[in-house]
Amino acid sequence: MTHYIDHILPAPLRKHPAVFWVGVVLIAAALAVMPFVLVSHSMTSWVRITNFAILFVFLSLGLNIVVGFAGLLDLGYIAFYAVGAYVYALLASPHFGLHLPFWVILPIGAAVACLFGVLLGAPTLKLRGDYLAIVTLGFGEIVRIFMNNLSEPINITNGPKGIATIDSIKLFGLDFGTTTRIGDFAMPGLIKYYYLLMFMLIIIIIINLRLQNSRIGRAWEAIREDELAARAMGINTINLKLLAFAMGASFGGLAGGVFAAIQGFISPESFTLTESVMILAMVVLGGMGNIWGVVVGALLLSFVPELLRYTVEPAQKALFGRQIIEAEVLRMLIFGFAMVAMMLFRPAGLLPSAVRKRELARKAD
Amino acid sequence: MTTLLSIKNLHIGYGGIQAVKGIDIHVEQGELVTLIGANGAGKTTTLKAITGLLKPTAGTIEYDGKNIVGEPTYKIASQGLVLVPEGRGVFPGLTITENLQMGAYSRPRHERASIAEDIEHKFSLFPRLKERAKQTAGTLSGGEQQMLAISRALMARPKLLLLDEPSMGLAPIMVQKIFEVVREVSRRGVTILLIEQNAKLALQVSQRGYVMDGGIVTLSGDSKSLLVDPKVREAYLGEDVAV
């Protein structure tokens, strides 16, 4: 067991496993109670915000496989999220009259997204850096435009109107879309989703941690460093790059499916380039290649804009008696400042991966 | 002696230009053979074809009794034909230990213990690498990087080691050291094909040599006799030989 902990733990905690476990129990307890506290303080919307933040953690971790581990810049990652969401929506809504169960659709969604990942990966195997970024950007746009226009001649995606009344997730006879009551105790659907997402998050993080320290993870690292040398070491660079795209895409598809179920409605508008850029920003801000860093980055960029939304207006009213700058405007301003500050002070991210940190230190010499 | 590598009538072209125009090269088990020639002679192109990075237009490359033309690089590498790329090609962001571990990538998982032993063995050969085991390869000097690149290739326990211009860009004293290393590796039983521009040193350490010029092998034979061959001396050793 210690062996696993060594891999998973951030370095400073490795020497004090007892402290670590106490911390884990406390954090787990706090996270378990949190949604009920929020609801009882009539802050239900924050549970919803947290759910979407967790979805963005899924997406960031998926993109991190492609960008952070394998070093392939992908600017169209949201396409896989879109594919996953549409697969779920088409198979579980009145649109086609299909209502397949969650456990059937989720793997299908992930598999279709995986297929799209390979579809994007195969023709771009020889591209790197800027050129790869341009192609992936185009790919993301193509997928979105298809979603927008595939309502004729056969109506598949229902075009810009999107697909509505998508089934909620139902597991073990439990409908995640409604409030469950056991006596006086009420558990709203949002909180059920919260627990489901938390559960999935733990599994996804464990998969990522295991992946990073695996043979595959090390091969990705070698490809990122020097592709030719990696090949000379006997690494099948073609398959491994495709695998990175496919795995990243599967995580995106998975997140998309859950998104469609929680939201109940999807339209191409949710899958714009801005979203791709946002996810990439989460990965970069947190620290490319470092799983914990990426988690922190995704949570920060999900929560801070929401915090601003709730604080900027009242703060200005209290100070100046009226609203001068809108929260939305201020958000982009702060976002820009944060990015510039990051590049100046922590270019490798908030929690940089060991290798990136070394790389940057070397370049500074 | 068995033939480990046998190249017959190899032609390689880039688009319409023929870079290699029908060469025959063979390397016997345990030999240290060198391929020398000036820039643009087709040496590196030949090497790229051997390692599967380029597809020849005609000819065969037999390694260990089997034609490997058309096989992907990674498969060739995992059969024990290991390249030390030109310009060293170490993984600059990985530590020295990680670089060595990467070298053993194609070895099966159950060899983990012997891989660790091999790393220690490389460290004993190059104490300099051991001192810096936890530093990144990018912080090493050129010569140290070259030693790391050779050590990393040896981690795969190669049957045939291909060295592409190991002396390139190194200080003269380092060049001497690298050639000592090459000689030592060969003495330990590794078959080597050495591509070099430094003809004199290459011929001094090797047993046989091929001289390439304009895409063909112009001379070949015993290294000792090549060293004294007037044509070689004039063209590659920069000596003025009165004929």
Read off the pLDDT of residues A114-147 as tens digits, 9 standing for 90 and up: 999 999 999 988 888 889 999 999 999 999 999 9
Structural domains of chain A, count? 1
Residue B194 pairs in a beta bridge with B34, B163
| Structural domain includes residue A295 | yes
Residue A5 belongs to some domain of the structure: no
pLDDT at A109: 92
State the average pLDDT over residues A230-236.
Answer: 91
- Residue A288 identity: M
**What's the confidence (pLDDT) of residue A4?**
53
The Cα angle at residue A81 between residues A75 and A82, in degrees rounded to 5: 100
Residues of the domain holding A253: 15-360
Check pLDDT > 80 for residue A328: no
Residue A259 domain-assigned (yes or no): yes
Which residues are within 8 A (CB) of B71 and not within 5 positions of it... i.e. 6 or more apart? B52
b/e map of A211-238 (b: 16 or more CB within 10 Å)? bbeeebbbbbbbbbbbbbbbbbbbbbbb
CB-nearest to A234 from B85, B136, B156 is: B156
Collect all residues of chain B within an 8 Å Cβ-Cβ radius of residue A237: 74
Q: What pLDDT is recorded for position A7?
A: 55
Nearest by CB: B89 against A215, A232, A355: A232
Nearest chain B residue (CA) to A225: B91
Q: Can you tell me the mean pLDDT for A338-346?
A: 85
The predicted pLDDT at position A171 comes to 80
Q: What are the tens digits of pLDDT across the range A34-67?
A: 888 887 887 788 889 999 999 999 999 999 999 9
According to CATH, the superfamily of the domain at B30-54+71-236 is: P-loop containing nucleotide triphosphate hydrolases (3.40.50.300)
- ipTM score of the complex? 0.84
* Averaged pLDDT for residues A2-24: 67
Cβ-based contacts under 8 A for chains A and B: 80
Question: What is the pLDDT, as a whole number, of residue A2?
Answer: 47
Q: Centre a 10 Å sphere on the Cβ of residue A323 and count the other Cβ atoms it contains.
A: 13
Torsion angle, alpha carbons of B193, B197, B200, B204, to 10: -10
Of residues A198 and A96, more confidently modeled? A198
Q: Which of A226, A237, A356 to substitute to test the interface with B, most B CBs within 10 Å?
A: A226
Handedness of CA A237, A239, A240, A246 (dihedral sign): positive
Q: What gap in Å lies between CA A342 and CA A285, rounded to an integer?
A: 7
Instruction: Write out residues 92-121 of B within 8 Å (CB-CB) of A.
Output: 92-94, 98, 101-103, 105-106, 109
pLDDT at A325 over 60: yes
Chain B residues whose beta carbon lies within 8 Å of the beta carbon of residue A356: 93
Backbone angles phi, psi at B209, to 5 degrees: -145, 155
Phi/psi-derived region of residue B81, left when phi > 0, alpha when psi is between -120 and 50, beta in every other case:
beta
Please, what is the end-to-end C-alpha distance for chain B in angstroms? 38
The answer on pLDDT for A360 being more than 70 is no
Residue A114's pLDDT is what? 95
Helix then strand count (H, E) for chain B reads: 10, 10
User: A10 lies in a domain?
Assistant: no
Mutate to test the interface with A, among B94, B99, B150, B155 (most CBs of A within 10 A): B94
Give the model's pLDDT for residue A174: 76
Please provide the DSSP assignment of A133-154 as one string.
HHHHHHHHHHHHHHHHHTTSSS
Q: Which of A225, A239, A360, A363 to mutate to test the interface with B (most CBs of B within 10 A)?
A: A225
Given this model, what pLDDT does residue A220 score? 94
Whether the CB-CB separation of A87 and A252 falls below 8 Å is answered with no
pLDDT for A1: 44
Cβ pair B105:A225 closer than 8 A: no
Interchain contact, B94 vs A225, CB within 8 Å: yes
Task: Kindly state the tokens that stand for B151.
Answer: 């050590």
Q: B136 CB near a chain A CB, below 8 Å?
A: yes
User: Taking 90 as the threshold, does the pLDDT of residue A322 lie above it?
Assistant: no
Ranges in chain B, pLDDT < 70: 1, 238-243
- Facing residue for B74 by CB, picked from A225, A237, A365: A237
Alpha helices in chain A (DSSP H): 2-8, 17-40, 44-64, 78-91, 102-121, 129-149, 189-212, 215-225, 227-232, 237-263, 273-286, 291-320, 327-345, 354-364
Report the residue from A233, A355, A362 with minimal CB separation from B105: A233
* CATH code for the domain of A167: 1.10.3470
Whether the Cβ atoms of residue B193 and residue B161 lie closer than 8 Å to each other: yes
B85–A232: do the CB atoms touch at under 8 Å?
Answer: yes
* Average pLDDT for A9-25: 74
pLDDT over 90 at A177, yes or no = no
CA atoms B133, B155, B45, B204: torsion sign: positive
Distance CA A143, CA A82 (A): 8
Coil/strand/helix, residue B6: strand
